[in-house]
């Protein structure tokens, strides 16, 4: 097989030399405008690379593709290298196109298209092979984690070329403060990248989804992700909720002990004023509820609810004051005495105002003499004015005016 392969290569090389030798001088002049054109190609590992060489002006001169090891792949439409992955796409005097399927990282390099003019003209095309990153893995989580502990999660992926980018998200919110490490793999072509996330957990982190996302140009905008759901254990939180804001004597009351924790708190413990419930017949505990069937004044006091899990204990208190229903009705109903007092004051003020107004009008009703009646206006001096005024009293009734 090796001998046959060498013979084939020598045959095509001899053919190339014969074609070069057969080129005439007048063709040399015409070939000066001929030049092969190629383009660089980028392909994802495992994909198919298409290599195309074009010549705009070609006078039936042969084209050839060779690999980075300078092995001839195709000479015009004749295959020279026995590799089932390499196929002819198109072969004309103006174009030689081939395809390489199932591309591996070792296929990366500079490919050469040769146009056998005098002299031979070449064009280079660099084939870039992208290494696809492996699915990421998150390590460092051991369930469960206690509230307040420092958690360190590491996300790692290998096989990327160029090195992939890792991003962290916590409930869809990106976390920026992370560590990033890039290492070259043993093949010296791909990379292993890792990122570390450090944070202190609390009860709000329970059930939160932490996502590691790997971005890379080989993934066609579809990043690879790994997810870790957090499980946080924490002490209970307790709150007492009464069924009514104003407990009344003779009515029932339900106190609900609302407790949250992980693990779920055990059945709660009810106490009154630091001791056991005094009247078990009327005070019935059902799950997390304390039912007082018939309230009376002796039920006044401080009720305490305690919740416990394997992490710790917590409690809440409720001060019960039993109200007299009659007193509450008097407080909530209208104050008739106050309303009657206000009405009386308004009436008294109104009557006083009417009385004073009448007195005022009565005192200002009467007669007065005008200057014309008194004769003072036409008097030459003060003495004459007085005499005229006294003398005119007789006729004053004729010029009397009334003020109302």
What pLDDT does 345 receive? 81
CA count, 13 A, side-chain hemisphere, 88: 17
| 362-402 pLDDT, tens digit each | 776 554 444 444 444 555 555 554 455 455 444 444 444 44
Rounded-to-integer distance, Cα 275 and Cα 303, Å:
9
Q: Which run of H or of E encompasses 248?
A: none
SS3 239: strand
CB 254 within 8 A of CB 287: no
* Model confidence at 33: pLDDT above 80: no
* Model confidence at 15: pLDDT above 60: no
SS3 246: coil
| Structure-block tokens of residue 127 | 């084939």
Average pLDDT over residues 350-364: 78
| pLDDT class of 126 with cuts at 50, 70, 90 | very high
What pLDDT does 57 receive? 84
* Model confidence at 28: pLDDT above 50: no
DSSP notation for 46-60: TS-EEEEEE-SS-SS
CB 349 within 8 A of CB 341: no
Regarding predicted confidence, which is higher, 253 or 11? 253
- In the chain, what are the domain boundaries? 36-130, 137-230, 235-320
SS3 343: helix
Average pLDDT over residues 336-356: 78
| 195-251 pLDDT, tens digit each | 999 999 999 999 999 999 999 999 987 899 999 999 999 999 999 999 999 999 999
What pLDDT does 30 receive? 46
| Structure-block tokens of residue 42 | 């980028």
- The percent of residues in the chain predicted with pLDDT above 90, rounded, is 67
What pLDDT does 364 receive? 64
Rounded-to-integer distance, Cα 160 and Cα 134, Å:
7
Residues in CB range of 199: below 8 A, 6 or more apart: 150, 151, 175
| Structure-block tokens of residue 217 | 């140009």
Q: Return the C-alpha torsion angle 239, 243, 247, 250, nearest 10.
A: -130
- Which CATH class name applies to 137-230? mainly beta
Residues in CB range of 123: below 8 A, 6 or more apart: 35, 36, 37, 38, 53, 112, 113, 115
CB 212 within 8 A of CB 139: no
Regarding predicted confidence, which is higher, 73 or 384? 73
Rounded-to-integer distance, Cα 228 and Cα 263, Å:
19
What pLDDT does 9 receive? 45
Total H helices, total E strands in the chain: 6, 27
Fold: same for 36-130 and 137-230: yes
What pLDDT does 326 receive? 82
CATH topology assigned to domain 36-130: Immunoglobulin-like (2.60.40)
What pLDDT does 32 receive? 54
What pLDDT does 21 receive? 44
- What is the b/e burial string over 19-48, where b = at least 16 CB atoms within 10 angstroms of the residue's CB? beeebeeeeeeebeeebbebeebebbbeee
| Structure-block tokens of residue 204 | 């709000």
| 326-341 pLDDT, tens digit each | 875 555 555 566 677 7
What pLDDT does 331 receive? 53
Q: Return the C-alpha torsion angle 342, 344, 347, 352, nearest 10.
A: -110
| Structure-block tokens of residue 69 | 């090891």
| pLDDT class of 346 with cuts at 50, 70, 90 | confident
- Look up the CATH superfamily of 235-320: Immunoglobulins (2.60.40.10)
Among the residue ranges 4-13, 191-200, 231-240, 353-362, the one predicted with the least confidence is 4-13
| Structure-block tokens of residue 209 | 């989804």
| pLDDT class of 361 with cuts at 50, 70, 90 | confident
Decide: pTM greater than 0.85.
Answer: no
Among the residue ranges 50-64, 294-308, 328-342, the one predicted with the least confidence is 328-342
End-to-end CA distance of the chain: 145
- 141-155, 348-362, 382-396: range with highest mean pLDDT: 141-155
């Amino acid at each position: 097989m090796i001998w046959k392969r060498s013979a084939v290569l020598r045959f095509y090389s001899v053919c190339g030399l014969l074609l070069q030798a057969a080129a005439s001088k007048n063709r040399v002049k015409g070939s000066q405008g001929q030049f092969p054109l190629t383009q660089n190609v980028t392909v994802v590992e495992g994909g198919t690379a298409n290599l195309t060489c074009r010549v705009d002006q070609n006078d039936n001169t042969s084209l050839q593709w060779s690999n980075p090891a300078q092995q001839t792949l195709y000479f015009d439409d004749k295959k020279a290298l026995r590799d089932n992955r390499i196929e002819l796409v198109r072969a004309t005097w103006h174009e030689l196109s081939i395809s390489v399927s199932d591309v591996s990282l070792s296929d990366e390099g500079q490919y050469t298209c040769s146009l056998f003019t005098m002299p031979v003209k070449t064009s280079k095309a660099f084939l870039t092979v992208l290494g696809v990153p492996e699915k990421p893995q998150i390590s460092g989580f051991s369930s469960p984690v206690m509230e307040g502990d420092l958690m360190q999660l590491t996300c790692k992926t290998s096989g990327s070329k160029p090195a992939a980018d890792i991003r962290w998200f916590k409930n869809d919110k990106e976390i920026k403060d992370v560590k990033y490490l890039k290492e070259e793999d043993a093949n010296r072509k791909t990379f292993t990248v890792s990122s570390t996330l450090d944070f202190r957990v609390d009860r709000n982190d329970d059930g939160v989804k932490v996502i590691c996302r790997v971005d890379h140009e080989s993934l066609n905008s579809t990043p690879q992700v790994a997810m870790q759901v957090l499980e946080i254990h924490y002490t209970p939180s307790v709150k007492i909720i009464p069924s009514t804001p104003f407990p009344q004597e003779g009515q029932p009351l339900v106190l609900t002990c609302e407790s949250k924790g992980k693990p779920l708190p055990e059945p709660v413990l009810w106490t009154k004023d630091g001791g056991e419930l005094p009247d078990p017949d009327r005070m019935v505990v059902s799950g997390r509820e304390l039912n007082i069937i018939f309230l009376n004044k002796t039920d006044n006091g401080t009720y305490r609810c305690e919740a416990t899990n394997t992490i710790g204990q917590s409690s809440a208190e409720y001060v019960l004051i039993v109200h007299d229903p009659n007193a509450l009705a008097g407080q909530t109903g209208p104050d008739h005495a106050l309303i009657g007092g206000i009405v009386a004051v308004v009436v008294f003020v109104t009557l006083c105002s009417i009385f004073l107004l009448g007195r005022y009008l009565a005192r200002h009703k009467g007669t007065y003499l005008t200057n014309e009646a008194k004769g003072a206006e036409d008097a030459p001096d003060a003495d004459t004015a007085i005499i005229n005024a006294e003398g005119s009293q007789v006729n004053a009734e004729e010029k009397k005016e009334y003020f109302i």
